[in-house]
Amino acid sequence: MRAACPGVSAEARGKQLNSSVLAWARCVGLVTGTVEEERLAAMRLGEFAARLVPEAGAAEAELTAQWAAFVCLVDDRLDRGGLGSRPEEVRVLFDRLLGVLTANRAVVSGGEVETALTDLWWRTAPCMSSRWRERFMTDYREFAQATYQEATGRRDRVGLPLDDYILLRRRTITVFPMADIVECTAGAPWPDHLGCDLAVRALRQAAADVAGWTNDLVSADGDLQAGQESLVAVVGREHGCSPSAAHERVTTMRDDRLRDFYTIAAVLAAGEGVPPAAREPLRSYVGALGSFLAATLHWLGVTGRFETRWLSGSHGGPASSVVL
């Protein structure tokens, strides 16, 4: 992995990445008009990537930003024209995308989303182990299944109980696939020590919950206007409380879950019971996941992705869902 660009500030690097990710999205057809380009620029995904992998070289940082853009823009396509409430069309979309991941070679594109994923996948997967590739495909397949389940619930107007929503949200937030990408771009692969696998999985689950719940806090007003479910709405329904009281409850839940993350991270970083050769890789992985979560929380506080101007009917722009 190449070193980060010397003499370039984090702010300048983030702006450079903002520009490069917009150029890439244009090239592969993920953005096709002025409104889409403006919205992608407002997301500030280059700045997100600069914080996420601060020590990575330019190519790795660009790849991180491009994966984040793919995740966000595919999610936006789900909501455009109500696709996110048409489960069979959601299934068709993800069958196409999963076909890219399982192909033995770069496939001829059937659309812009496949073009983008083919480009990303064949710049990422060959650098990683077969174990990593299997895990990424499993994580993305579970995300696809959860998105189909979410679409079915939207179509049928079924409100999930709180515990069920939390489990579903953990998979629709796409933290697991993005955490897999960070293993590659940060040079911090999943530790090769079976004895810590359960704790690493618990750490990833805590990260997904914190990111998903914070996302729902940030996007709650837009979700309400768009008629979409969020943790804030579910908690309000479950407890029979006002939106402001539900927001406070979810904030407390998120803060408690963030403490869980740091507690698990500290135990793993201490390396107790871990063979000496596995301790440093384990610390690197925990540090990379910590940077990922910190970057995500910062990004959710500054991104323009959830501004109400992007809701359907504003400048002709689509409503956003809450998947990162």
Q: Residue type at 141?
A: R
Tens digit of pLDDT for each residue in 245-297?
A: 999 999 999 999 999 999 999 999 999 889 999 999 999 999 999 999 999 99
Predicted confidence band at 192 (pLDDT cuts at 50, 70, 90)?
confident
Question: Distance (Å, rounded) from C-alpha 323 to C-alpha 90?
Answer: 14
Instruction: Find, among 42, 60, 84, 63, the residue nearest to 3 by Cα.
Output: 60
Average pLDDT on 190-207 reads 92
Question: Distance (Å, rounded) from C-alpha 97 to C-alpha 116?
Answer: 10
When the pLDDT of each residue in the chain is averaged and rounded to a whole number, the result is 89
pLDDT score of 11? 86
Instruction: Find, among 168, 165, 199, the residue nearest to 289 by Cα.
Output: 199
pLDDT score of 118? 95
Looking from the CA of 5 toward its CB, the CA atoms found within 13 Å total 16
- In degrees, to the nearest 5, what angle opens at C-alpha 194 toward C-alphas 190 and 199? 70
pLDDT score of 240? 97
**Would you say how long the chain is, in residues?**
324
Q: Residue type at 8?
A: V
pLDDT score of 205? 98
pLDDT score of 75? 83
Q: Residue type at 91?
A: R
Per the listing, tokens 């991270």 go with 265
Domains of the chain: 10-310 (1.10.600.10)
How many CB atoms lie under 10 A from the CB of residue 156? 9
The alpha carbon of 301 is separated from its chain's Cα centroid by a whole number of angstroms, namely 15
Question: Distance (Å, rounded) from C-alpha 146 to C-alpha 166?
Answer: 12
Looking from the CA of 219 toward its CB, the CA atoms found within 13 Å total 28
Question: Distance (Å, rounded) from C-alpha 6 to C-alpha 11?
Answer: 13
